[in-house]
Structure 1
Amino acid sequence: MRKILNVKRKKRFSYNHVNDHHKKWDWMIRITFLILIVIGGIYHAFNLDQEGRVWYLQPYIMVFGFGLVSETVRAIFEKKYSENPNDYKFTLSQLAYLSITLLVFFTTDFFGIFT
């Protein structure tokens, strides 16, 4: 996909911000999700029974939501400010692939491996 869209490879596990405005948005998203994960952890610590659990405060849902929001914001900033017009298309294709893969894994309980 990278070759088809003529997109350069980015460094893994580094902050590849498009500009300073994107950097500010990215850190706001990170801090917000960190606070939400802590609140969700505290909530679940006080509600240890299964009936009191809220699905959207589960840690794996929060991490998935963080990735979804973070990569969507990256794609928006790449569309607006990137030098290569295909950068955002590659980011959206990565996001779609990862989302579909994780959705399939979680809905099938990892294809029945852990049941």
Structure 2
Amino acid sequence: MDGVNRMYGPDYSGMQTDVMWEVFGFLVVGSIAVFLVNWFLRRTLGVKRKRFFSPSSNYVNSQHQKVDAYFRWGGAAIFLLVFFFTYGQGPFIPFAVLVVIGIFQEGYTAYMEKTHSDNRNDFKFTLMQLPIALTIIFICAYIFLPDFGDVFFYGVD
């Protein structure tokens, strides 16, 4: 009896752990690759690294901060609505909505950096960061998670 302990019922200690290692590999390799590419781009373009939890270094001016907050909160509301309405159709549509909202948000950030930033290369880095990161994540997903395409595109006709 594989996977069933005669005395205590199902034996969950014998579950396959290879999926766990695939997810771990995806997270580690994807994160390191995105970090290294961003580091290389930052160094090549001469762009200063923005602090993660410091809003003062992430915005060019107060208007940028205000509009970015609208993007974040409005994007979250739109994502939740789309997620609940398309729940049974797979994760592709909500993810596509997140990407579109992210494109608009990064586009606005690049516009504000181009018009108001001291460093003229800030907007170039912002425009390159999202497509490169998405490409790396998708490549790592296909390498480390072989069923990624089947699960991700489930329900898309």
Q: Give the root-mean-square deviation of aligned CA atoms.
A: 2.4
What amino acid is aligned across from residue 69 of structure 1 in structure 2? F
Q: C-alpha displacement at 1:85, in angstroms?
A: 1.0
- Give the aligned partner of residue 26 of structure 1: 68
SS in 1 for 2:86: helix
Q: Which residue in 1 is equivalent to 2:78? A: 36
Number of residues paired by the alignment? 105
Q: 1:87 aligns with which of 117, 122, 125?
A: 122
For the pair shown, the structure with the greater C-alpha radius of gyration is: 2
Q: Which amino acid aligns with 1:63?
A: L
**After superposition, where does 1:63-82 map in structure 2 within 5 Å?**
63-82=98-117
Change beyond 3 A, Cα 1:41–1:20: same
Query: What TM-score comes out, normalization by structure 1 length?
Result: 0.72
Secondary structure, counterpart of 1:35 in structure 2: helix
Equivalent in the alignment of 2:145: 113
In structure 2, stretches of 5+ residues that fail to align are 1-40, 148-157
The residue type paired with residue 8 of structure 1 is K
The 5 A counterparts of 1:55-70 are 55-56=92-93, 58=94, 60-70=95-105
Determine the C-alpha separation between the residues in 2 that align with 1:43 and 1:32: 17
The aligned amino acid for 1:31 is W
| TM-aligned CA deviation for residue 5 of structure 1 | 1.7
With the length of structure 2 as denominator, give the TM-score of the two structures. 0.56
Do structure 1's residue 100 and structure 2's residue 135 form an aligned pair?
A: yes
Question: Cα distance, 1:54 vs. partner?
Answer: 9.3
